[in-house]
């Protein structure tokens, strides 16, 4: 089994970072895949199922995601229900401390086809997933620290975020 980890510090509220990470439109932009079945836009929540389609390594690709863990705003997990991997699970963690949010992802996956699948994963898929994780974190940081985040988070969630600095300040003062 392969295990990858990537982290970043963001100067933004935890709720904003969490909600941006759950934006289907933003995930589609990062992955360069589109949702074709299940929830197709908005924010994911627990038990959502989404079928993604696109091209990877020049071949048609599909990946059906099931949200198998959801503890807003600190954690969510997506697990592959169907796709090219034998197993794929992605944990998204969020922690707010000292005025910033630390986001870290842990991705675990295996391939079918034994030795051949393992070598393909090591040579091609690990670098690809590491690059996607880095791009995702840098994009989330840029969006969360600027004003562009508002196009990915619905207005109702936006109102909840507006109250967060007071909530975070009260948490830090205890």
Residues belonging to the chain = 174
Determine the Cα–Cα distance for residues 44 and 90; give it in Å rounded to an integer.
14
Q: Quick one: DSSP state of residue 34?
A: E
Range of the domain at 38: 2-173
pTM of the model: 0.86
DSSP H or E run through 158: helix 155-162
**pLDDT of 174:** 46
Determine the Cα–Cα distance for residues 167 and 88; give it in Å rounded to an integer.
35
Give me the number of domains the chain comprises.
1
The dihedral over CA atoms of 46, 160, 94, 97, expressed in degrees to the nearest 10, equals: -160
**pLDDT of 173:** 47
**pLDDT of 43:** 94
Residue 41, SS3 per DSSP: coil
Between the alpha carbon of residue 76 and those of residues 56, 69, 108, 173, the distances in Å are 25, 5, 14, 27
What are the per-10-residue average pLDDT scores of the chain (174 residues)?
A: 96 96 92 91 95 87 95 97 95 96 97 87 92 95 94 70 48 48
Cross-strand bridge partners of residue 94: 103
CATH number at residue 23: 3.30.530.20
Determine the Cα–Cα distance for residues 45 and 23; give it in Å rounded to an integer.
10
Q: Is 170 left (phi over 0), alpha (psi -120 to 50) or beta?
A: alpha
Q: Which long-range contacts (CB under 8 A, 24 or more apart) does 144-148 make?
A: 144/10, 144/11, 144/12, 144/16, 144/17, 144/20, 144/101, 145/10, 145/11, 145/12
């Amino acid at each position: 089994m392969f295990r990858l980890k990537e982290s970043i510090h963001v100067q933004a509220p935890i709720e904003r970072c969490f909600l941006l990470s759950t934006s289907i439109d933003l995930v589609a932009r990062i992955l360069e895949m589109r949702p074709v079945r299940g929830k197709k836009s908005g924010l994911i929540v627990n038990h959502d199922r989404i079928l993604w389609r696109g091209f990877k390594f020049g071949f048609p690709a599909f990946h059906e995601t099931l949200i198998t863990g959801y503890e807003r705003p600190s954690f969510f997990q997506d697990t592959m229900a169907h796709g090219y991997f034998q197993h794929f699970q992605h944990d998204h963690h969020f922690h707010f401390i000292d005025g910033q949010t630390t986001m870290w992802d842990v991705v675990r996956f295996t391939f079918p086809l034994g030795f051949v699948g393992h070598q393909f994963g090591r040579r091609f898929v690990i670098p690809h997933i590491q690059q996607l994780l880095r791009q995702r974190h840098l994009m989330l940081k840029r969006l969360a620290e600027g004003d562009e985040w508002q196009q990915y988070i619905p207005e109702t969630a936006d109102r909840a975020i507006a109250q967060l600095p007071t909530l975070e300040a009260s948490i830090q003062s205890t």
